[in-house]
Structure 1
Amino acid sequence: MRNLVLRLTAIMVFLLSFTGIINAQCFQDASGKFFNSDGTPCTNTVTSAVPFLRIVADARSGAMGDAGIAISADPNAMHFNASKLAFAEDKMGVSATYTPWLRSLGLNDVYMAYLTGYRKLDNEGLQTLGFGLRYFSLGSIQFTDINGTALNTGRPNEFEVAIAYARKLTEKFSAAVTGKFIYSNLAAGNVVGGDVIEPAIAGAADFSLTYKTPIELSNNGESDLTVGLAISNIGNKVSYTNSTDRDFLPANFGLGAAWTLNLDQYNSLTFTGDVNKFLVPTPCQGGAALCDTDNDAKLDYKQQSPIAAIFSSWGDAPEGLSEELREFMFSMGAEYWYDKQFAVRAGYYSENVRKGARKYLTLGLGLKYNVFGLNFSYLVPTTNRRNPLDNTLRFSLLFNFADVNE
């Protein structure tokens, strides 16, 4: 069972280039809407290559519905919004996260490891350098041919190396740019349909902004409002063969806000919410007449450049504005801290049923003592759709250093 599931996982990722063909099985009625052959509304999920780049590994954000664009800065800002690092309170920080994957299916060798950190570059704290290393292992797979004959055993894996530079432009405003190297090896050396499978390699960049300001409350209390914007994974298209038909990286637009209430000397409460949307073309529906207008046997939407796709993705949904709005994903969460040592968190994530249908509650705890922090999160599905993190406990270790010897 293990080898079958993992092998299918690798094949499905590798065959993302055929997603448009799958979605094209829907039929358009006189009103312009698309339906399956049984009359149900057509599912038209936006897909990309190397989807592991969008997995939220951080247990803190994982406990708040995967919201993290605007919450207080820690090393895991590298995933959400690196410009937050300019507002980090400590001189240096490091975080390590381990995320088991598909444990509910009995798999023990599929996981994600995520190591992040940052370092202030000057005494004024205006400039910050961040780094991130993401590693995703799909375990051990026995590859077979179409007849089920065993070929060789492989260990598919993917990783990302990221370096970010964040700078405060004013006391309340910061910006950052992140450079990334991405490597995806799913079945290198094997042959499928006469094509030799190769690792996919890409370079990408993130651009992010953060605005943070204090807000006085009517009862003389204190609070902070933070707003963050991040455009992530803007880079070249990739392929696992020599084919000219390449797939997009999971480019993403993210907007988030967080409001932290400092209730008194010991108690604080944060409410946060994120909105995300893929900057990837929506798969075309309706067959070659609509999807291959130049009759070159290639889907039109897949021939766009990554930059052109950023702009076209805001208005290319086959059903128009109503479908475009369905492509937004929502995260919301809350975090309570007592004496900056003990935290309780909860959140909710929602995605439209025709765009992936992921919906789940999240819960978590946080502990902090001196320079050491430990976060836990747990996911509770709210639909019958299986989630890779069902019945899985994620945890993150953090080390924050207020003073570092120069």
Structure 2
Amino acid sequence: MMKVLRDLFFVGIIILLTVAKVSAQVDYNELLSEKEYNPIRTAVPFLMIAPDSRSAGMGDAGVATTPDEASIYWNPAKLSFIENDFGMSLSYTPWLRFLVDDINLAHLTGHYRLDENQVIAAGLRYFSLGDIQFTDNQGTAIKTFNPNEFALSGTYSRRLGEEFSMAMSARYIHSNLTGSTDENTHPGNAFAFDLGLFYTRDIDVSGKEAKMNYGLNFSNIGTKMDYSENTKNFLPMNMRLGGAFMFQLDDYNSLGIALDFNKLLAPTTTYQRDTTGNFITAEDRTDLAVATAIVESFYDAPGVSGMSTFEEEMKEINTSIGIEYWYDKKLAFRAGYFYEPREKGNRKYFTMGAGLRLNVFGIDVAYLIPTTANNPLKNTIRFSLLFNFDAMAAPNE
């Protein structure tokens, strides 16, 4: 059995290293030309930062992994299949520590099982951008302000059969970036919802127990973020699709692998050309209706850098792959890789992580390793604490 575990481990490492070898050849100087670099721009990008340490340790893969407290972010439909009836988690991420030391993301979640088929959950995500000194046009200091954003979510998840579940989440988003220092701006507010689907099936592999999961989640589908009378921006509306395979090696050892595909559903920036074919102006197309923007997001890429529309649309899909090993359901080791094409942001990084589960408490840690030098995501570390209140009640029953 140890030989099987060793072989599976090396297969996972080879996959990760092969992907990284291709991506490591990127020269950041090439991204300075707008013909080469055309990311999708949205408001409140903090909503797309992986909040928990478990999925962050697996290359940001989580739409179809086994259910946990962070499912409210990755795919709320997974909550119907969560093992414990009542639990909470708290995650903390010091963000962009390579550049500054006072930006951070906190994520608090909790769930409660109503009955065998129904689960409700809530989550609060808070993003602090640190203290910023505001000045007037002459450079005179006005005040120091801490820009911040938060999102408050509520979820209802229901199992519709032995193997299938659905969920809906509602979300209120608040973004205060200027503290009304500029009389022409104000804090932004928006409302959004998520729709999640989850399918899980037990299978037999060579006489061993295994499980195959599939997940689909549409998130942050909602109103535009308004910071002024003349400026409205789309939320990071997103579609995440993926699968996960978990294999029970023996009574104590299990191994899982997860694969996610992720696509923003906001409009792609388009460009106009002059008579020589050069790109001269950008158009964000923020006047589109939300439903129209979602539909057109699948075919609106202008085809920069000599690409066809289809080629650029394919570049807008990010890929996450991760592996997770558990010993006796108590000790976990994780690794993963996240890939984003250079034309759409060029985020490429390895991740690794570990987890420990005790009777009532659990802890996860994840660490991010970029494949390029001087990357602002360098040295990103995440911490998560988990609480299983079922275990607290068990001795009294």
Rounded Cα–Cα distance in structure 2 between residues aligned with 1:392 and 1:283: 29
State whether structure 2 residue 216 is matched by structure 1 residue 229: yes
State whether structure 2 residue 105 is matched by structure 1 residue 112: yes
Which residue of the partner structure matches residue 277 of structure 1? 263
* Structure 1: gaps spanning 5 or more residues: 1-35, 290-296
**Matching residue's letter, 1:306:** V
Which residue of the partner structure matches residue 142 of structure 1? 133
Contact 2:271 2:283 in 1 (8 A): no
How many pairs does the alignment contain?
A: 355
Counterparts in 2 of 1:165 and 1:184: CA distance versus 1, 3 Å: same
Which residue of the partner structure matches residue 318 of structure 1? 302
Which residue of the partner structure matches residue 196 of structure 2? 208
TM-score by length of 1: 0.84
Question: How far did 1:171 drift?
Answer: 0.6
State whether structure 2 residue 287 is matched by structure 1 residue 303: yes
Which residue among 360, 376, 380 is the counterpart of 2:365?
376
1:20-58 deviation digits (Å, cap 9, x = unpaired): xxxxxxxxxxxxxxxx99988521110100111111010
Counterparts in 2 of 1:288 and 1:69: CA distance versus 1, 3 Å: farther
Question: How far did 1:128 drift?
Answer: 0.2
Which residue of the partner structure matches residue 241 of structure 1? 228
Rounded Cα–Cα distance in structure 2 between residues aligned with 1:180 and 1:299: 28
Rounded Cα–Cα distance in structure 1 between residues aligned with 2:59 and 2:40: 21
Question: How far did 1:92 drift?
Answer: 1.1
Question: How far did 1:393 drift?
Answer: 2.3
Rounded Cα–Cα distance in structure 1 between residues aligned with 2:263 and 2:148: 26
Counterparts in 2 of 1:318 and 1:235: CA distance versus 1, 3 Å: same
Question: How far did 1:303 drift?
Answer: 1.3
Question: How far did 1:103 drift?
Answer: 1.6
State whether structure 2 residue 382 is matched by structure 1 residue 394: yes
Secondary structure of 2:225's counterpart equals coil
Secondary structure of 2:72's counterpart equals helix
State whether structure 2 residue 174 is matched by structure 1 residue 186: no
Question: How far did 1:366 drift?
Answer: 0.5
1:326-354 deviation digits (Å, cap 9, x = unpaired): 00000000000001111000000000011
Contact 2:270 2:282 in 1 (8 A): no
Which residue among 91, 94, 113 is the counterpart of 2:88?
94
**Matching residue's letter, 2:45:** P
Identity of matched residues, %: 45
* Structure 2: gaps spanning 5 or more residues: 1-29, 276-280, 304-308
Counterparts in 2 of 1:381 and 1:372: CA distance versus 1, 3 Å: same
Which residue of the partner structure matches residue 172 of structure 1? 163
1:130-165 deviation digits (Å, cap 9, x = unpaired): 110000011111101233221111111100000000
**Matching residue's letter, 2:249:** L
Contact 2:185 2:228 in 1 (8 A): yes
Rounded Cα–Cα distance in structure 1 between residues aligned with 2:355 and 2:68: 13
Rounded Cα–Cα distance in structure 2 between residues aligned with 1:279 and 1:264: 42
Question: How far did 1:286 drift?
Answer: 1.6
Counterparts in 2 of 1:214 and 1:142: CA distance versus 1, 3 Å: same
**Larger mean Cα displacement after TM superposition, 364-373 or 159-168:** 364-373
Contact 2:267 2:284 in 1 (8 A): no
Which residue of the partner structure matches residue 42 of structure 1? 36
Rounded Cα–Cα distance in structure 2 between residues aligned with 1:55 and 1:87: 24
Rounded Cα–Cα distance in structure 1 between residues aligned with 2:373 and 2:205: 43
Secondary structure of 2:174's counterpart equals strand
Rounded Cα–Cα distance in structure 2 between residues aligned with 1:226 and 1:234: 24
Contact 2:269 2:284 in 1 (8 A): no
Rounded Cα–Cα distance in structure 2 between residues aligned with 1:273 and 1:44: 25
**Matching residue's letter, 2:338:** Y
Secondary structure of 1:84's counterpart equals helix
Secondary structure of 1:61's counterpart equals helix
TM-score by length of 2: 0.85
Contact 1:358 1:385 in 2 (8 A): no
1:269-314 deviation digits (Å, cap 9, x = unpaired): 000010000000100112599xxxxxxx994722111111111000
Rounded Cα–Cα distance in structure 1 between residues aligned with 2:111 and 2:228: 36
